[in-house]
Amino acid sequence: MRFYLLRHAVTAETGITLSGRLPGIPLSADGRHMAEFAADMLAALRPAMLVSSPVDRCKETAGIVGGQWGLKPHLDRAFIEADYGSWSGRKLAALYRLKAWSHLMASAARFRFPDGETLEEVQRRAVAGIERLAATHRKDATIVIVSHADVIRSLVAHYLGMPLDLIHRLNVRPTSISVVELNGDGPPRVPIVNHVGGKV
């Protein structure tokens, strides 16, 4: 079974604000173009299911990508953005100056966002979501999941057997594609990470 993990396209806040789960932040014009390009990259697939985080920027990206297959995205909170708690909506430039940000970079597995989740909790629910989908679909099925950088990084780290403290070594750019393969009795494989080139 192949899972194509697509990060959402950009909004006007991407790279400026830690938007988290805040509503009312649509894709920018550039973001809509990026989503259309992502749709072209994935055009050759015949997915059994299109899954999306319920956050607006993912739903909008998934709607554009799924239009080519006539698939409406199934919203699944297993793949929702990390709960950044009181950091949600804050400017990244200000967060970078905090001592707590250094702790996040150094010890990601043990860091809890103020009033929010840990990345370990994010990883646990996202992996559970993948395993649930794997259990309810054919072994040769393809599923596309539109989600967020930290969620995708946590999934890639898990299936690579990579310590969560090293998660920030993984780059997951907007509309990049990462692929996880679950092979039944064999070990999982991660053949593609952060692909933003041509068709996959």
Contacts of 87 (CB under 8 A, 6+ apart): 18, 20, 95, 113, 114, 116
CATH code for position 123:
3.40.50.1240
- The whole-angstrom separation of Cα 46 and Cα 144 is 10
- The whole-angstrom separation of Cα 119 and Cα 125 is 10
Average pLDDT over residues 137-159: 97
pLDDT value of position 75: 98
Outline where the chain has alpha helix (H).
Answer: 29-41, 56-66, 92-96, 99-106, 119-135, 149-160
| Domain with 121 in it | 2-195
Q: Using the predicted structure, report yes or no on whether residue 198 has a pLDDT greater than 80.
A: no
Q: Is residue 133 part of a domain?
A: yes
Q: Is residue 146 part of a domain?
A: yes
Q: Give buried/exposed letters for 76-91 (b at 16+ CB in 10 A, else e).
A: bebbbbbbbeebbeee
Burial of 60 (0-12, 13-18, 19+ CB in 10 A): buried
pLDDT value of position 199: 78
Q: Is residue 176 part of a domain?
A: yes
pLDDT value of position 185: 80
Q: Is residue 200 part of a domain?
A: no
pLDDT value of position 197: 80
pLDDT value of position 113: 98
Residues 33-85 have pLDDT tens digits of 999 999 999 999 999 999 999 999 999 999 999 999 999 999 999 999 999 99
Instruction: Tell me the average pLDDT of the chain.
Output: 96
Residues 79-114 have pLDDT tens digits of 999 999 999 999 999 999 999 999 999 999 989 999
Q: Is residue 90 part of a domain?
A: yes
Average pLDDT over residues 3-21: 98
Number of domains in the chain: 1
